[in-house]
């Protein structure tokens, strides 16, 4: 790995937004596609890792970054699942190369092997992979609740392992895909793995997504190294993420009819629209220097009060710097086996 190279200039494109206390906005609205937010941005020579990049939002993120010239590694639990995407992009002859490597976020040894064998700079890490609403409490061999292990602890361990590569890039970005479900579930430091409280699939999912946002807040300690980290809610999208949701719940959501046919509601996004905010945070010069914030619909989200019913926004419990630091210490200790 190259050590302490000179920071590389920001890619061409829109001018950076000035620092401001008000929520950041961009020229892109809720319907923008990944290709729109990266139009005119040259990522030639940049290296990116996208977890869960074989399908859904991850695949659209890979497509956009590669089209802009980035060298993209798809990190996925099943390598064979990425072959259709690799074949597609190879045939299309895009500007950037795409590779695939095995990564099981719920297995610390797999995460360690991925990071330990990464022998290059890393400009972009997109923590996109995730699981949602496991119907029963499922634990990893370490005793971690599976959603927290996959959605948060695995990504935290990956970022720690890849930290030297991100630091040495001179100006790197971490993008963490969270969810609006975080609003209903602060992180429970007393019982994060549901050992004493009753297990609830959606509470467990929401807690893992709160942890994702808190990770980006805690990553402010890396800002002096040129590393920024931001979280996002991609919006409502039908992808493989819903595979553990039962039919009755899908009908209650209004996206499945009595015959079992799945159809998005009018306000749902396509996968490419859902990936737009990920790509914006990963590559747009509009976000140069911005860190520790939460975005949705290609703009920084408003902070909502507890009990507020209007959809969207970010809960204060997910932006609390003290909770972020406490969670960082908790996760680091858990990874050490404490």
Catalytic residues: 205
Residue 94 — φ and ψ, nearest 5°?
Answer: -65, 175
Angle at 20 between CA 70 and CA 187, to 5 degrees: 75
Residue 256 — φ and ψ, nearest 5°?
Answer: -140, 135
Does an H or E element contain 314, and which?
strand 314-315
Sheet bearing 227-233, strands edge to edge: 98-102, 71-76, 47-51, 124-127, 172-177, 227-233, 294-296, 299-300
- Look at residues 334, 281, 317, 318 and name the one whose alpha carbon lies nearest to residue 154: 334
- Cα(298)–Cα(26) distance, integer angstroms: 7
Sign of the dihedral through C-alpha 276, 129, 233, 281: negative
242 in Cβ contact with 250 (< 8 Å):
yes
- Cα(126)–Cα(311) distance, integer angstroms: 25
- Look at residues 303, 327, 311, 43 and name the one whose alpha carbon lies nearest to residue 173: 43
- Look at residues 287, 273, 6 and name the one whose alpha carbon lies nearest to residue 124: 287
């Amino acid at each position: 790995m190259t050590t302490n190279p000179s920071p590389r200039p920001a890619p061409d494109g829109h001018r950076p937004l000035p620092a401001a206390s008000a929520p950041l906005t961009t020229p892109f609205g809720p319907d923008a596609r990944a290709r729109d937010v990266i139009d005119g941005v040259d990522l030639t020579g940049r290296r990116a890792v996208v977890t869960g990049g074989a399908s859904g939002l991850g695949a659209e993120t890979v497509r956009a970054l590669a089209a802009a010239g980035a060298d993209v590694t798809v990190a996925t639990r099943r390598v064979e699942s990425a072959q259709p995407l690799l074949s597609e992009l190879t045939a299309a002859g895009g500007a950037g190369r795409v590779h695939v490597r095995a990564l099981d976020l719920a297995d610390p040894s797999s995460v360690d092997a991925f990071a330990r064998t990464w022998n290059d700079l890393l400009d972009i890490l997109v923590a996109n992979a995730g699981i949602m609403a496991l119907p029963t409490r499922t634990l990893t061999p370490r005793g971690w609740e599976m959603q927290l292990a996959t959605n948060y602890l695995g990504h935290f361990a990956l970022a720690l392992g890849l930290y030297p590569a991100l630091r040495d890039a001179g100006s790197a970005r971490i993008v963490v895909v969270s969810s609006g479900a975080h609003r209903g579930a602060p992180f429970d430091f007393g019982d994060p793995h549901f050992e004493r409280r009753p297990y609830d699939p959606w509470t467990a999912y929401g807690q893992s997504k709160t942890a994702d946002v808190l990770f980006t807040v805690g990553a402010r300690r890396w800002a002096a190294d040129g590393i920024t980290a931001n979280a996002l809610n991609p919006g409502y999208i039908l992808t493989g993420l819903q595979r553990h949701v039962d039919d009755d719940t899908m009908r209650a959501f209004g996206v499945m009819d009595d015959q079992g046919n799945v159809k998005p509601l009018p306000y749902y996004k396509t996968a490419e629209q859902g990936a737009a905010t990920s790509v914006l945070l990963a590559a747009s010069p509009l976000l140069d220097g911005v860190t520790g914030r939460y975005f949705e619909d290609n703009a920084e989200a408003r902070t909502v009060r507890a009990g507020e019913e209007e959809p969207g926004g970010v809960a204060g419990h997910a932006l609390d710097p003290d909770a972020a630091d406490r969670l960082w210490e908790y996760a680091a200790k858990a990874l050490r086996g404490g």
